[in-house]
Structure 1
Amino acid sequence: MEGKKMLELFADGQAVTLDQVLTNREWRSAVQQQLAIDFPDQVVLAVKLNIAGPIKNSPKIQQVFMAGWQVIQRACADAAIKKVYVDEQRITGPEAFLVLDGQIKKWKQKLVHFEDNFALGRLFDCDVMTDSAESYQFSRRDLGLSPRPCLVCDDDAKVCAKKGRHSLAAVQAASNQLYRNYFVTDLILPKWSQDFVADAALAACLQEVVLAPKPGLVDPLSAGAHHDMTVMTFVDSAVALRPYFERAFQLGQDCSQAEAMDLLKLLRPAGVEAEQAMYLATNGVNTHKGAIFTLGILIAAYGLAIQGKEATTLHKVLHFVRKISANILENDLVSPNPSDWKAETAGSYQYRTYQLTGVRGEVAAGLKALAQVGLPTLRDRPGSMTNRLLDTLMALAGAIQDSTLIKRAKTKAIVQQMQDWVDEFFTLGGAETAAGQKYLTTLNQTMIEQNLSIGGAADYLILTIFIGRLSGLLSS
């Protein structure tokens, strides 16, 4: 078990030959030469990975690359971009090129900062070059910086490699540990701007609704069990919510961490305004009310956690989710007088009837299904991003007591039925198999006939996509 875990970065990768490595080196040189011809006065950034051993690419190696590439792209966002080329599928390892305006020294300094400070930066090899410079490539030595440290012992990496100080197994284990530290032990979330965070939240809402086929839910193929809305209803709603996502982030940034428990009082009026914007955009249809609540709290918690830092962790963000929501069960469900339950919500009814705390209980507990089910499933399931997201949705549907599902079924027993459906789906191999895809389509019809919907799982999928985008696990 430990041996398998130690090699997870290289799992499902294909070993390459020396000829393939040499051929790729010629390809890279040709690309760089052509870019120099096409853009003689611009700077070329060439980005690849330092991966020891014969396996240079795998699903998890691609996760490493895309997480770092996203950070590099945002560091270049203010520059005049002339060309972008990315190939994450190359058998010899993911590679990317970026052509932009500016001074070569400035860009080398930015990329050295990335290599030295980004949590996965040690696995990256970033070159900066321009045909108009005295030296075609600009090195760390040109900046008066020390050589890059060895992955294993922190001495000069080139000296260690030349003298063969460390075994391949030791270097691969060190690389794999970097992967685990970032994606597994405690997911790392870089510091992003307000615009990036709002864009990630908006994209999460849009990616959830266009995902198909989704049992009982609206997608481009079916309205599911929701006869009053379509994909376009959700698109209009998501776009209307972007100012709220900005507001939630800013509220988190402006609140002191010691006063986190008071943040919900500020978020709720903003959430009410967001609901009004949603209803105006959808002609009165409730598309994202649950997401307004959970995603708003999660965004604010991220804003709190990232204060004054270059990065934070999922654990820290969820700590603030719990702090923000600390009194919500007492205030919303426990203390209210039964005489106040005149126009009760589905959540308050289910608490009174089944003693279920619903979405309030989920945030008060720190969105456990996000950390324990959603993100691990997205990270580890095989196949295309679409199929990984479908698997994630189904895993979430089987992991929570979905108040939307219970409301429509009018019985708590539906939770076990949903778990049975989820178990059968994964027994068939999940969304990556033809049988799994067929099962989703059939299950959708069953849920339509029974007027069932997994709206709570859909909201959790939005949260998963959002954090996936912040971490680079699911990059743009």
Structure 2
Amino acid sequence: MSAQVSLMEMLDARERRVQHQQMLLQQYHKPLICFTMNICGPVKDSPLIRRGFERGRQLLQQQFFRAKLTPLHGDVSREATGCEAFYVLDADPLFIKTFTTDIEDATPLGRLFDMDVLCPDGRKVEREELHLPGRRCLICGGPAKVCSSRRIHMVAELQAKTTAILTEARDHQDTADAARQAVRALLYEVTTTPKPGLVDRRNSGSHRDMDVFTFMDSAAALYPYFEACARAGRATAEQPAPETFAALRPLGCQAEGEMLDATGGVNTHKGAVFSVGITCAALGRLDRECWADPARVLTEVSAMTAGLTDRDFANVTAENASTVGQRLYVQYGITGVRGQVEAGLPAVLKVGLPALEAGRAMGYDFDRAGGGALLAILANSTDTNIIARSSRERQLVLTGELKTLLAKTPYPDKAALAALDDRFIAENLSPGGSADLLALTYLLYFFKTEETVHE
């Protein structure tokens, strides 16, 4: 439960803030941004309020990048009385005020930002100096000063509106970030080079109907789908996990059509539509702080898909098996991607991700670290694409060969990977299932290692 603060505590915090501003102005003699949240009521700090505050800091940082500004000083405090951030900049105060007001006016969340700009002499730059109108009321859209001074709106009404704004902004950012990183993962997978038998920057692998640009077209087309999956996860987060999975089926069918439309009928990412879509939905079901924990994310994937293999293969027999996956299940008990997601993607969590992390820690680029991760996945799981293009016996021999190679050289260099690529192409082998698992490896790696405003 978020703590309530008294009027006296707020007055003390305001006095400390003014003193800190004066200290920074006297020390640097440069303009200063003081960023706080405009939160009505006695609760000034909560996880949701902090998310809004961190989004404001992110937006400020983006404008610093855009203006090629490096703060001379920056500090942040997070107290029960509210979050505060201070930035000293060597720039014209009116220029600074221009981009802070742009942030404040761009979205509903911006209405909750107070980004004061102080001149070196301590004078506050007003919006009117930029010929801008005053802030608008959260509820009615009228002049905020008028509504505030006359107490036109009840505190409870303002609090409810504030919570709605913060919640919508959080969910929008989370679903967009999940989709953005999912597409990024697909692009990293296809551009990791060389990859044995797969499309990459070197060639089209064992494929004649697609190239790296086909994959890029496909990845771009899937962004709305991944966002919709994350949104579905968020919308069903309070329901049993299998309910989220059930909500994905119509989305996946539509996404497959979008993919095929973008590629002229070429199947580039059918497997990723399934596995990456489920993972995006799992992210949507979880609080953002869980996203950096791959095991937690994949536990959610497992919960969502519990019983999937038995349901899908319940009535499959040797006589009616019509797909490669069904035939392999009947003949060898191979569960393919269904078994992987139901088990929480162990080939990613226990093989691909550790290999990628270790390779990056050794200083290898994504080509070499990703190549090592791909081979590790291929050597320690059953890629049904390999079997479909050859045989179960050839797949087993191949995994044995790869294990021997990786025992000597966990991260083969470009020449060794290219030689493997040539061998795979000569045999018409393409480990497409392992490629999807590599994309998932990248996705979880991004959230685990990337420093975000939410950490």
- Taking structure 1 as the reference length, the TM-score comes to 0.61
AA of the residue aligned to 2:358: D
Aligned partner of residue 366 in structure 1, secondary structure:
coil
Aligned: 1:243 with 2:221: no
Pairing 1:129–2:88 present: yes
Quote the offset at 1:449 in angstroms.
0.5
Calculate the aligned-residue CA RMSD, in Å: 3.6
Instruction: Say whether residues 1:363 and 2:331 are aligned partners.
Output: no
Change (3 A) 1:378 1:192: farther
Q: The residue matched to 1:265 in structure 2 has which SS?
A: helix
Q: Is the 8 A contact 2:32 2:120 kept in 1?
A: no
1:184 counterpart residue number: none
| Corresponding letter in the other structure for 2:272 | A
Q: Contact between 2:197 and 2:422, CA under 8 Å: does it hold in 1?
A: yes
Aligned-partner Cα distance in 2 for 1:75–1:392:
37
Q: Please name the residue that 2:302 is paired with.
A: 322
- 1:418 corresponds to which residue? 399
Task: State the distance in 1 between where 2:249 and 2:434 align.
Answer: 22
Which of residues 95, 108, 123 is equivalent to 2:76? 108
CA deviation digits over 1:320-365, x for unaligned, max 9?
2111111211111133466643xx3221121122210111110111
Matched residue count: 327
Which whole-Å CA distance do the structure 2 matches of 1:449 and 1:420 have between them? Answer: 17
User: Which of 342, 345, 353 is the aligned partner of 1:375?
Assistant: 353
For structure 2, list consecutive stretches of 5 or more residues without a partner in the other structure: 1-27, 36-51, 91-117, 123-171
Residues 330 and 129 of structure 1, relative CA distance in 2, 3 Å threshold: same
| Equivalent position SS for 2:392 | coil
Cα distance, 1:280–1:311 mapped onto 2, change above 3 Å: closer
Distance 1:339 1:474 in 2: 53
The residue aligned with 1:216 is 197
Letter in 2 for 1:449: A
SS of the residue corresponding to residue 60 of structure 2 reads: coil
Deviations 1:133-184 (A, max 9, x none): 7799xxxxxxxxxxxxxxxxxxxxxxxxxxxxxxxxxxxxxxxxxxxxxxxx
Q: C-alpha separation between the residues in 2 aligned to 1:310 and 1:100?
A: 31
Say if 1:310 and 1:441 are closer, same or farther in 2 by CA, change over 3 A: closer
Q: What is the 5 A alignment of 1:452-467?
A: 452-467=429-444
SS in 1 for 2:240: helix
Q: 1:72 to 1:294 in 2, by over 3 A?
A: farther
Amino acid at match of 2:444: I
Alpha-carbon distance in structure 2 between the residues aligned to 1:319 and 1:254: 19
Given residue 348 of structure 1, which amino acid in structure 2 is its aligned partner? Q
Aligned partners of 1:439 and 1:418: how far apart in 2?
16
Q: Secondary structure at the match of 1:109?
A: strand
Q: Does 1:449 align with 2:426?
A: yes
**Are 1:226 and 2:207 matched, yes or no?**
yes
Could you tell me the percent identity over the aligned residues? Answer: 31
Letter of the 1:455 counterpart: G
The answer as to whether partners of 1:42 and 1:100 remain within 8 angstroms in 2 is: no
Contact persistence 2:340–2:346 (CA under 8 A): yes
Structure 1 position 347 matched with structure 2 position 325: yes
In structure 2, the residue matched to 1:176 is none
Contact 1:305 1:312 (8 Å CA) reproduced: no
CA contact (8 A) 2:260 2:266 kept: yes
Q: Residues of 2 paired with 1:280 and 1:380: CA distance?
A: 38
> What is the one-letter code of the residue matched to 1:289?
K
Tell me the distance in 2 between the aligned counterparts of 1:460 and 1:383: 22
Structure 1 residue identity aligned to 2:225: Y
